[in-house]
Amino acid sequence: MAQRAHPDLGSRAQSAEPRAPRALSRGQALVELAVFGSVLLLLLGVLLNYGLNAEYNQQAMMEAFRRALSLAPGPGKSSVTVIRDRYIPNPSNPFALGSVYPVAVSARVTKDPRMHETADTVEELPRLSLFVNTRPESQTPTRSYTTEGFRSGSSREVDPCEGEIMDPDLCRARCREDASPWYCSKLDQLFQGINKMSVQPGMRREARVNASLRKEESPSALRTTTHMESWRDRITRRVVSRRMGDESGRVGTEEIATTPKDVAPNDVTWTTPWN
């Protein structure tokens, strides 16, 4: 006599299939968290970098305009260049000072009711003032140069190639217009071996770091300690100029070094559990 199968046996056999271990699903969740978490941290770092750059540039622009407005003489022009070295945090290395982002902004103000007239005194000549990592409350520029000077000949005129900071291309064009052999020879002496008499775009950075990393493993967690003994950062820029009225063709080179930034010794400790 044939036996009839119970209707619940098929469903029981179907439900008896092996299920995925719960540990495997947890591991998958951890992998997904690690992958998407790193992407989110990367996006956060990019947004932070962009926001800080925009904020630092805006602050430097406002500072440069205020300084140019305060330094401009009664009749005359004033040009101000503000250079600040900002440290942008690095998400991949949160215990360091971060990368250096030099912010350079210029502003120019003219306060002269007689703009159509030529300057009569040295005080009325345009000047360039450099503020390199100075405090906002300081009113003294790091360096100040005259960008134009008086040229005496058949008539007295203001010549942009007689200042302390000059552009070689502009001066050579002026040389061709005047066709003066003495003037051209002086330019060749001034610009021999250099491209421009100004603040050089390159800078030299010296960083000295003394740090250590210690890890301690236990059955329950991993203990990590970073010890920062010292961190010293120094940035140096070069300025090429000539003395006002010096006809010998000698060029002066000086360096503007920022105040070294030191970090006090500190320890940072964190614990990472194994589970």
Residue pLDDT, tens place only, 209-229: 787 888 888 888 888 888 877
Q: Is the pLDDT of residue 64 over 70?
A: yes
Q: What are the beta bridge partners of residue 241? A: 252
**Among all chains, which residue has been given the structure tokens 């990590």?**
224
Beta pairing class for 127-132 and 76-88:
parallel
pLDDT at 101: 81
Largest CA distance in the chain: 136
Task: Give the tens place of pLDDT for each residue, 226-243.
Answer: 887 777 888 888 888 888
What's the mean pLDDT in 31-58?
80
CA–CA distance, 111 with 75 (Å, rounded to integer): 5
Tell me how far apart the alpha carbons of residues 100 and 84 are, in angstroms, rounded to a whole number.
10
Which residues are 84's β-sheet partners? 103
Residue-wise pLDDT tens digits, 107-122: 988 877 766 677 788 8
Other CB atoms within 10 A of residue 48 CB: 14
The Cα–Cα gap between 195 and 34 comes to 51
**CA quadruple 37, 39, 45, 51: dihedral, nearest 10:** -110
Residue 178 clears pLDDT 60, i.e. is over it = yes
Q: Would you place residue 63 in the very low, low, confident or very high pLDDT band (cuts 50, 70, 90)?
A: very high
Structure tokens at 195: 């491209």
SS3 state of residue 88: strand
CA-wise closest residue to 214 among 228, 233, 230, 200: 228
Give pLDDT tens digits for 186-211. 787 788 777 778 877 677 888 887 87
DSSP state string for 216-231: EE-SSEEEEEEEEEEE
Determine if the pTM surpasses 0.85: no
